[in-house]
Amino acid sequence: MDLTPRHRQPFALPGPWPACAQALLRRGAAWLHTGGTGDGLLGLPDGPILASRWSGEAWTSRLDDRARPGSPWEALESVLPEHPGPWIGAVTFELACDEAALPRQALPPGTLGQHWRGLRQALHLQGGEAELWSWDIPPDPGRWLALLQPEVSRAPAPPALHPRWTETHHRAAVEAIRERILEGGFYVANLCVPFEALFPDDLVALALETFRRARPPFGALLDLGDLRLLCLSMERLLSRRGERIWSQPIKGSAPLTGDPELDRLAAEALAADPKERAEHTMIVDLVRNDLGRVARTGTVTVSQAMTVEPYPTVQHLVSTVEAQVRPDLGLAELLRSVLPGGSVTGAPKHAVCAHLARTEAAPRGFYCGALGWIAPNGDLDLTLPIRTAQIAGEALTYWAGGGITRRSDPGREWAELFLKTRAISG
């Protein structure tokens, strides 16, 4: 994580991490969590907020109480130089579809499409060592000590998730996609289903427990005002450092049991599975095409192809696609080229998104949009918010999905949905 603070100083935590951050998290602090070590960034909830909402006819953006002109991506690009620190936030799947001129489901007026908070100060954790970071005035350790108070909390019961539609409905939806593929309408489509639960318990305690258990490479707990996001993603959507950009699409899944021999055999079977390899190859080609739209000619490469990566409950096939971008490339153009991510749409994007808009049970919201940080110079780290819960009041929604190809088995696709809920349901 390279965010280049203006000031940084070592900081002795007043108690065990992350238990000492619970009170601050309940007050709306932004938390980006990296893997099982507890590394990450905890930002104070006191910076400017850029938000875009759907009016019923168009997206309208405001920086705090001031309207911002242009599309949501243009509004986001325009605020970067106005704040010294990075912006942490998230974007919905539907807003990304609109920016890319792709079909999507209808939205009610007032729907939140993006929410970004500019950081002034943050606590950075790496390898068990803490530092105070600031992008304006030097940080005040005394203030942080007052905000970080150790708390003991019980692990809440995991949400009791229920799919919005039945196995019969899902099988029929899978078959409809397979028929479209056989007719030549598209090659692969990512079909997703919302799971729902009532969760009256402590979301911060749930975040601590799921981060400990799932060890997500791209975890986050964000307060967006209207709702909160608990992200347990393992997929890098897009990163940029100067002229280098890269994406790490995931396609192909197998359970992880904890038995070394069984997991080794499952990994070998996953890497050799014709359906999984075909699905993965099509998505990598789509990502290569997306990056190629903004890359210098001849610089798009697949630097890592179909590596099996294990996570606490599942194994995935992962590739790395990278490129060198044009030096004059702006943020809005970059985001339009990549979002929504190919691994959660399909190929070709327009035809697939049109079908999904008619098929899926509801708008996806922040699931399958983008989440992470963007620095004033345009460097960024964005994850694809899969394995992500959206919580409004006591209503929790957690989507799961999978790529459908002509070789897909409807029963296996239904079972894969439940495998992917294990990150939050235990």
- Cα–Cα distance for residue pair 175/341, rounded to 1 Å: 23
Q: What pLDDT score does 38 carry?
A: 60
Which of 361, 419, 357, 367 lies closest to 396 in space, CA to CA? 367
Hey, how many other C-beta atoms are within 10 angstroms of the C-beta on 199? 23
Task: State pLDDT tens for residues 80-90.
Answer: 999 999 999 99
Higher pLDDT, 267 or 169: 169
pLDDT band at 37 (very low <50, low <70, confident <90, very high): low
**Angle between helix 410-425 and helix 167-183 axes, rounded to 10 deg:** 120
Q: Is the pLDDT of residue 128 over 90?
A: no
Contact 173, 359 (CB under 8 A): yes
Range of the domain at 408: 162-199+242-366+398-425
Task: State pLDDT tens for residues 91-110.
Answer: 999 999 999 999 999 999 99
Task: State pLDDT tens for residues 397-418.
Answer: 999 999 999 989 999 999 999 9
Higher pLDDT, 304 or 62: 62
Which of 393, 396, 394, 392 lies closest to 421 in space, CA to CA? 396
Higher pLDDT, 216 or 238: 238
Domain annotation covers residue 146? no
Hey, how many other C-beta atoms are within 10 angstroms of the C-beta on 277? 16
Tokens of 5: 């603070």
Domain annotation covers residue 42? no
- Cα–Cα distance for residue pair 284/254, rounded to 1 Å: 19
Average pLDDT over residues 370-396: 96
Domain annotation covers residue 11? no
Query: Any alpha helices (H) in 293-320, and if so which ranges?
Result: none
Tokens of 380: 């960024």
pLDDT band at 170 (very low <50, low <70, confident <90, very high): very high
Mean pLDDT of the chain: 93
Q: What is the pTM of this model?
A: 0.94
- Cα–Cα distance for residue pair 219/86, rounded to 1 Å: 17
For 44-82, give the DSSP string: -S-S-EEEEEE-SSSEEEEETTEEE-S-HHHHHHHHGGG
In angstroms, the Cα distances linking 359 to 156, 165, 169, 183, 389 are 34, 12, 10, 18, 21
Higher pLDDT, 174 or 312: 174
Q: What pLDDT score does 36 carry?
A: 54
Average pLDDT over residues 300-318: 88
Q: What pLDDT score does 100 carry?
A: 97
Query: Any alpha helices (H) in 93-223, and if so which ranges?
Result: 93-99, 141-147, 167-183, 203-214
Q: What pLDDT score does 226 carry?
A: 87
Q: What pLDDT score does 223 carry?
A: 97
Q: Is the dihedral of CA 353, 359, 364, 368 positive or negative?
A: negative
Which residues does residue 122 pair with via DSSP β-bridges, in sequence order?
Answer: 43, 133
Task: State pLDDT tens for residues 243-259.
Answer: 999 999 988 888 888 88
Q: What pLDDT score does 155 carry?
A: 81
Catalytic, 235? Answer yes
- Cα–Cα distance for residue pair 400/388, rounded to 1 Å: 9
Domain annotation covers residue 89? no
Q: What pLDDT score does 127 carry?
A: 82
Domain annotation covers residue 234? no
Domain annotation covers residue 109? no
Domain annotation covers residue 252? yes
Q: How many domains does one find in the chain?
A: 1
- Could you tell me how far CA 86 lies from the centroid of its own chain? 17
Query: Any alpha helices (H) in 192-273, and if so which ranges?
Result: 203-214, 260-272
Residue 262 belongs to a domain with what CATH number?
A: 3.60.120.10
Q: Is the pLDDT of residue 1 over 90?
A: no
Tokens of 369: 């949009």
Average pLDDT over residues 331-343: 96
The active-site residue out of 99, 196, 235, 276 is 235
- Cα–Cα distance for residue pair 404/269, rounded to 1 Å: 18
Omega before residue 340 within 30° of 0, cis: yes
Q: What pLDDT score does 310 carry?
A: 85
Average pLDDT over residues 117-131: 93
Q: Is the pLDDT of residue 333 over 70?
A: yes
Q: What pLDDT score does 2 carry?
A: 60
Domain annotation covers residue 290? yes
For 271-299, give the DSSP string: HH-HHHHHHHHHHHHHHHHHHHTTBPTT-
The active-site residue out of 94, 209, 251, 420 is 251
Which of 230, 266, 267 lies closest to 387 in space, CA to CA? 230
Q: Is the pLDDT of residue 222 over 80?
A: yes
Average pLDDT over residues 313-338: 93
For 321-364, give the DSSP string: EEEEB-TT--HHHHHHHHPSPGGGSEESHHHHHHHHHHHSSS--
Average pLDDT over residues 296-323: 91
